[in-house]
Amino acid sequence: MKKRFFLLVVLLLVSGVSLFAQQALFGGQEIVSPEINSDNSVTLRVLAPNAKTVLVTGDFLPTEKVQSPMGEMEAPGKAEMKKDEKGVWSFTSEPLESELYNYSFVIDGFTTTDPGNPYVIRDIASLSNYFVVGGGKADLYMVQDVPHGSVTRCWYDSPALNMDRCAVIYTPPGYENSSEEYPVLYLLHGAGGDEEAWFSQGKATRILDNLIAQGKVKPMIVVMPNGNVIQDAAPGEGRDGFVKPAFMIPNTMDGNFEASFMDILKFVESNYRVKADKANRAIAGLSMGGFHSHHISRYYPNTFDYVGLFSAALLPREDATGKVYSNIDETLKTQMDNGYKLYWIGIGKTDFLYDANKEYRAKLDGMGMKYSYMETDGGHIWRNWRIYLSEYLPLLFR
């Protein structure tokens, strides 16, 4: 009797699940979003029959000025979507150049992701969808039929910070099956980011795979550490559990990351096949990571032959009083006198850090410190940082 009852319950459960699955599978309307059209315009759609207004916001739209913790900045613009008789709202863009684009929907004032698009990027604590328009520079950001490197989440001991910490490390195609030694690039994220930022948003490993396959970039190891010294790993991946990511967490840019950086370098040079000398070390970073790259490279002035500052946060900081930030001009001159092969600076014309970077370049000009410079359209955005990485990598280790 008990056996029959058990079988009956199981059958009812299976029947219920099957019925629910059929309703979910066949009861809804199939929405194609995004749809990249033949002229490279993009159509976005969302089913919201009861909504009064639906907007799309994305970095393919004209920007607007907003207030942020860093002051007035450019933000993605908004456009109205149109509703059809079935309750589907849609918007078609102008033809777009080849690029990776982010977007979200604003439904009756509530910002949300596109339920028709499973491809999502986290930027600090915000989620947005993305799509790629190929046929140009964005082909670098897509998986191509080329040899691929490996990506590993590694944990290293940091005695200076008294914790084990996580870094994402890329090894080039063929690393596992060779005995070759490789140069190393240390690639640093911005404020609010973590060790996952360059991998997920920056598409750094895809860029590397594709440029190495094209013969434009020398095979290298790329180390992407966490620049937030109170974290051992990205939110949800470390000892703090599922904390909400924040922009400027405590001890951000206070000198401890720079002072502890040799812990990362020692781990890499002890555990990977690397060419452990100045000529085979590079460092680069965006925004806060550019700030860190600037200070690490001069604080350890005979360590890196290649330095990249992408939209670097070079604004003076009143709380920057630690040893790392003392004698800046003196250590910068020592770095110059020691010699280096490349000091590379990139900034967008409408970046809120443009003036600070201009002042820093004037300082370098005044002291006779040579650098390469790239100025692009746009502001403080990932679109520029992917371009800067794509331009910087081919110049390394030549």
The three state secondary structure string of 322-352 is CHHHCCHHHHHHHHHHHCCCEEEEEEECCCC
Percent of the chain with pLDDT over 70: 89
- Domain containing 98 equals 35-135
**Pairing outcome for strands 342-348 and 372-376:** parallel
Backbone angles phi, psi at 264, to 5 degrees: -70, -50
Does residue 256 share a domain with residue 121?
Answer: no
More reliable by pLDDT, 4 or 197: 197
Mean local confidence (pLDDT), 349-359 = 95
- The answer to whether residue 1 is domain-embedded is no
CATH number at residue 253: 3.40.50.1820
Amino acid letter, residue 299: Y
Mean local confidence (pLDDT), 136-161 = 96
Does residue 234 share a domain with residue 148?
Answer: yes
As a whole number of angstroms, the distance between CA 201 and CA 120 comes to: 10
Last residue of a domain, one of 135, 167, 182: 135
Number of folded domains that form the chain: 2
Mean local confidence (pLDDT), 49-74 = 83
pLDDT tops 90 at residue 68: no
User: Please, which pLDDT band fits residue 75 given cuts at 50, 70 and 90?
Assistant: confident
Does residue 178 share a domain with residue 317?
Answer: yes
Q: Which residues does 144 contact at the CB level (< 8 Å), separation at least 6?
A: 209, 210, 213
User: Please, which pLDDT band fits residue 361 given cuts at 50, 70 and 90?
Assistant: very high
- The answer to whether residue 7 is domain-embedded is no
Does residue 178 share a domain with residue 94?
Answer: no
**Pairing outcome for strands 35-36 and 120-123:** unpaired
User: pLDDT value at position 19?
Assistant: 36
Q: What are the b/e assignments for 75-102, b being 16+ CB within 10 Å?
A: bbeeeebebeeeebbbbebeebeebbbb
User: Please, which pLDDT band fits residue 249 given cuts at 50, 70 and 90?
Assistant: confident
Does residue 225 share a domain with residue 127?
Answer: no
Does residue 292 share a domain with residue 196?
Answer: yes
SS3 383: helix
- The answer to whether residue 245 is domain-embedded is yes
- The answer to whether residue 27 is domain-embedded is no
Phi-psi region of 270 (alpha: psi -120 to 50; beta: other; left: phi over 0): alpha
- The answer to whether residue 21 is domain-embedded is no
242 burial via Cβ count (<10 Å: 0-12, 13-18, 19+) = exposed
Amino acid letter, residue 107: I
User: pLDDT value at position 321?
Assistant: 60
CATH number at residue 83: 2.60.40.10
Does residue 382 share a domain with residue 336?
Answer: yes
- The answer to whether residue 15 is domain-embedded is no
Does residue 178 share a domain with residue 125?
Answer: no
As a whole number of angstroms, the distance between CA 278 and CA 306 comes to: 9
Q: What is the pLDDT of residues 194-241, one digit of tens each?
A: 999 999 999 999 999 999 999 999 999 999 999 999 998 888 888 888
Please enumerate, as own/partner, the contacts of 160-163 that have beta carbons within 8 Å and a separation of 24 or more.
160/256, 160/259, 160/260, 160/262, 160/263, 161/229, 161/256, 161/260, 161/263, 163/232
pLDDT tops 50 at residue 21: no
Mean local confidence (pLDDT), 322-337 = 91
Structural contact between residues 345 and 374, judged by C-beta atoms closer than 8 angstroms? yes
Last residue of a domain, one of 94, 118, 135: 135
pLDDT tops 70 at residue 44: yes
Does residue 270 share a domain with residue 301?
Answer: yes
Which tokens is 379 given?
């502001």
Q: What is the mean pLDDT of the chain?
A: 90
Does residue 147 share a domain with residue 127?
Answer: no
Does residue 200 share a domain with residue 180?
Answer: yes
- The answer to whether residue 3 is domain-embedded is no
Q: Which residues does 88 contact at the CB level (< 8 Å), separation at least 6?
A: 29, 31, 45, 46, 47
Structural contact between residues 97 and 133, judged by C-beta atoms closer than 8 angstroms? yes
- The answer to whether residue 2 is domain-embedded is no
Amino acid letter, residue 206: R
Last residue of a domain, one of 74, 104, 135: 135
User: pLDDT value at position 332?
Assistant: 96
Does residue 205 share a domain with residue 89?
Answer: no
